[in-house]
Structure 1
Amino acid sequence: MASENKNSPLLYLQLFAGMALFGSATPLSKIVGEGFPVFTASLMRMGLAALVLAPFVIPRLGELKKASASDWRAMAFIALFGMVGFTATMLFGMRLASGVVGATVMSMTPAVTALAAFLFLKESYNATKSTALALAVAGAITINIFNGGSGESGMAMVWGSLLVFAAVCFEAGYTLLAKTVSDALSALSISFAASVMAIPVFLLLALLFDPDGLTVSGANTGHWAALAFWGAITAGLAPVIWYTGVRQAPGALAAGFMAVMPVSALVGSYLLLDESFRGAHLAGFGLVFAGVLLMVREHMQGMKED
């Protein structure tokens, strides 16, 4: 039964949907960062995520009560990397970089995650997996390579790109950390616990470093709408979908699907930030999904052999 679950179309749908929703966080981060102080926005994001997850988690609090010390340690690191680190570096980075540049840097997520899986989880590698990852990364870079007209200064763009790359590293870290938590804990419980643990951290950071404390007077309706989706969906719903899939999938398969994230980020930049669409990006879309399909095929083949 476990093998069937790991080879289910639902698994691939979960991985795809989770990354597509995570990708939307890139353009949304730019909108939110323009309307709110960084740590105040992050605090509200975690609060919204916890509120969305609470009705589903409260009936199963017994899971968390039975969590081991190692589980709590892993969830604390998920909160540190995936909630605090990822959210803050993405917000600061997207204040400086354009949506297209942010998506370009996010395209490195599959490679960074696959490398981390190989180095820290000792997962096997072969030529097919390497080719699939290369296609996915090459496609994601291709669709973002033309980024003219963004208007950001050169050094601001460099610093923004470095901060977004830091977010990529945090993303890879907490994706792999999710695989270390006991199977007795559901994705809902993990996401809820990590969100709650991040709230006091962001509250302290907001009081210490945000201008004028928890001020939100500069936000308009668009900023609030972006914050609501960013918190409830990309921080509340998306981690549950992604964690549910990634805990059943090898790190390399998860890394292949992570190429969907920069594609989603780029499309969101077109739609939400009015950045220019270029025909050359179509070739990149083909490469990205060719890489994802090749990784899925390799995974299915491996399941048959097992």
Structure 2
Amino acid sequence: MKRQVDTTTYLMLFFGMVLFGSATPLSKLVTPHFPVFIAGSLRVLLAFLVLLPFIKLTRLRNYKGRDRWLLLGIALFGVLGFTALMLYGMKLVTGVTGSIVMSGTPAVTAAFSILFFKDALTWKKLVALLLAISGVLVLQWKGDPSGGTRPWLGVILIFAAVCCEAGYTLMGKALTKNFPPEEIAGLSALIAVGLFIPFASWQVPKLDLAKVSIRDWLALTAYGLVTMGLGSVLWYKGLARVEGTIAASFMGVMPVSALLLSYLLLGEKFRWLHMAGFALVFCGVLLMISVHRDMARKMK
């Protein structure tokens, strides 16, 4: 019986990361026919519906002033900022390029933690950050031959989204000391819906429903329900059952998932330049996994 529980937990962590990784290629499928803020608002609303059962009304009064500001920060930067920048960026680059840039999230999070929270700078963190930067630069070497309009601008926007995601992680880390992560994700999604509405209303005239196919609606539904909603539930449920060293080992699944699904869902052409960039960034991910393992061991 114990073995079955362990297997279930590992599957939760694995598929949670797979679903998080699928967000990058799915965002590429969503952008052609949905205006960015309309797609973003629907994504967050769908995710909120999945996370709603994890919100306890009786616990809301426990969120004090600082907690509420952190929730607002997560909603503003980690949800609204991340989603909008990601969608605008993915309009300009290929899914593979977007996946590789997003793979640098652990290294950027570590850099933010060092800059703003005075975390110790270790050689592993420094090398991971340098590898992430090198991987992105490789994509721009002689231009990314896989196409995309203004790819350099798309890379900048997606990197800005990575910075927002890093902010989400660090602000969320401060809140999870007192509140469940699923509840934090649900409440921040609810707040973000309100933040999205004014921008989405402005873009309503740009939405041409006649051009939106069933495939587009399915992609948008998956982008909200599956990647942000179900992905969060699986990851956080699994995270609560294992040690940090085990959870850290699954971080490497997300960039691999994003890359492979970009080839499968988007039908993008394989190029060795992509592999070179991905290899550099993924080595950085492996170093950050090692850092998380070391931290988890020290906390025992």
Shorter-chain TM band: 0.7 to 0.9
Out of 146, 150, 157, the position equivalent to 1:149 is 146
Question: CA separation in 2, counterparts of 1:121 and 1:278?
Answer: 39
Identity percentage over the alignment?
A: 44
Out of 161, 164, 180, the position equivalent to 2:155 is 161
1:277 maps onto 2:270 in alignment: yes
CA distance 1:213–1:290, shift in 2 (3 Å): closer
Q: For this pair of structures, how many residues does the alignment match?
A: 289
Q: How far 1:97 moved relative to its partner?
A: 1.4
Q: How far 1:296 moved relative to its partner?
A: 4.0
One-letter amino acid of the counterpart of residue 201, structure 2 = L
Aligned to 1:122: 118
Out of 39, 47, 50, the position equivalent to 1:49 is 47
Query: Where in structure 2 are the equivalents of 1:211-226 lying within 5 Å?
Result: 211-212=204-205, 216-226=209-219
CA contact (8 A) 1:79 1:198 kept: yes
Query: Where in structure 2 are the equivalents of 1:178-189 lying within 5 Å?
Result: 178-189=172-183
CA contact (8 A) 2:244 2:296 kept: no
Q: How far 1:292 moved relative to its partner?
A: 4.5
CA distance 1:304–1:192, shift in 2 (3 Å): closer
One-letter amino acid of the counterpart of residue 123, structure 1 = D
Q: How far 1:224 moved relative to its partner?
A: 0.9
CA contact (8 A) 1:99 1:273 kept: yes
CA contact (8 A) 1:259 1:288 kept: no
Query: Where in structure 2 are the equivalents of 1:187-206 lying within 5 Å?
Result: 187-206=181-200
1:236 maps onto 2:232 in alignment: no
Q: How far 1:88 moved relative to its partner?
A: 0.9
CA contact (8 A) 1:43 1:203 kept: yes
CA distance 1:134–1:269, shift in 2 (3 Å): same
Question: CA separation in 1, counterparts of 2:118 and 2:276?
Answer: 33
Question: CA separation in 2, counterparts of 1:23 and 1:98?
Answer: 15
Out of 70, 81, 87, the position equivalent to 2:83 is 87
1:33 maps onto 2:31 in alignment: yes
Question: CA separation in 1, counterparts of 2:260 and 2:144?
Answer: 13
CA deviations on 1:189-217 (whole Å, 9 max, x unpaired) are: 11111111111221211112x15166533
CA contact (8 A) 2:111 2:125 kept: no
1:177 maps onto 2:174 in alignment: no
Aligned to 1:3: none
One-letter amino acid of the counterpart of residue 196, structure 1 = L
Q: How far 1:80 moved relative to its partner?
A: 0.4
Give the CA RMSD over aligned residues.
3.6
Q: How far 1:280 moved relative to its partner?
A: 6.8
Question: CA separation in 1, counterparts of 2:140 and 2:112?
Answer: 24
CA deviations on 1:236-273 (whole Å, 9 max, x unpaired) are: 13344556759x869xx97x976654433221210111
CA contact (8 A) 1:19 1:257 kept: yes
Question: CA separation in 2, counterparts of 1:214 and 1:200?
Answer: 20
CA contact (8 A) 1:206 1:214 kept: no
CA distance 1:163–1:302, shift in 2 (3 Å): closer
Aligned to 2:3: none
Given the two structures, how large is their TM-score scaled by the length of structure 2?
A: 0.79
Matched position secondary structure for 1:264: helix
Question: CA separation in 2, counterparts of 1:24 and 1:203?
Answer: 25
Question: CA separation in 2, counterparts of 1:43 and 1:295?
Answer: 32
One-letter amino acid of the counterpart of residue 148, structure 1 = P
Given the two structures, how large is their TM-score scaled by the length of structure 1?
A: 0.78
Out of 49, 60, 65, the position equivalent to 1:64 is 60
